[in-house]
Amino acid sequence: MRRFPPERIVCLTEETVETLYLLGAEDRIVGVSGYAVRPPRVRREKPRVSAFTSADIPKILALAPDLVLAFSDLQADIAADLARAGVAVHLFNQRDVAGCLAMVRTLGALVGLPERAETLAAGFEARLAAAAEAVRDRPPLRVYFEEWDAPMISGIGWVSDLIALAGGCDVFPDLSRQPAAKDRIVSPEQVIAAAPQVILASWCGKRVNIARIRDRPGWAAIPAVRDGRIHEIKAPLILQPGPAALTDGFAAIRACLG
pLDDT tens per residue across span 130-172: 999 999 999 999 999 999 999 999 999 999 999 999 999 999 9
pLDDT single digits (tens) 213-236: 999 999 999 999 999 999 999 999
In order, the DSSP letters of 21-51 are HHTT-GGGEEEEETT--SSTTHHHHS-EEE-
Distance CA 62, CA 258 (A): 49
pLDDT single digits (tens) 109-124: 999 999 999 999 999 9
Task: Specify whether the CB–CB gap between 33 and 255 falls below 8 A.
Answer: no
**Which pLDDT value is given to residue 112?**
97
Distance CA 254, CA 258 (A): 6
Q: Is the pLDDT of residue 56 over 90?
A: yes
Distance CA 115, CA 105 (A): 9
**Residues contacting 121, CB < 8 A, separation 6+:** 101, 104, 105, 108
Q: What confidence category does residue 9 fall into, taking pLDDT thresholds of 50, 70 and 90?
A: very high
Q: Is the pLDDT of residue 257 over 70?
A: yes
**Which pLDDT value is given to residue 99?**
98
Distance CA 159, CA 2 (A): 36
Q: What are phi and psi of 9, to 5 degrees?
A: -115, 135
Percent with pLDDT over 90 in the chain: 97
* Strands, E assignment, 62-140: 67-71, 89-92
**Which pLDDT value is given to residue 1?**
55
Per-residue pLDDT, averaged over 90-95, amounts to 98
Task: Specify whether the CB–CB gap between 247 and 22 falls below 8 A.
Answer: no
**Residues contacting 217, CB < 8 A, separation 6+:** 188
For residue 111, the one-letter residue type is V
What's the mean pLDDT when you consider all of the chain?
A: 96
Question: 115: burial class by Cβ within 10 Å (0-12, 13-18, 19+)?
Answer: exposed
- Closest Cα to residue 25, out of 88, 90, 123, 113? 113
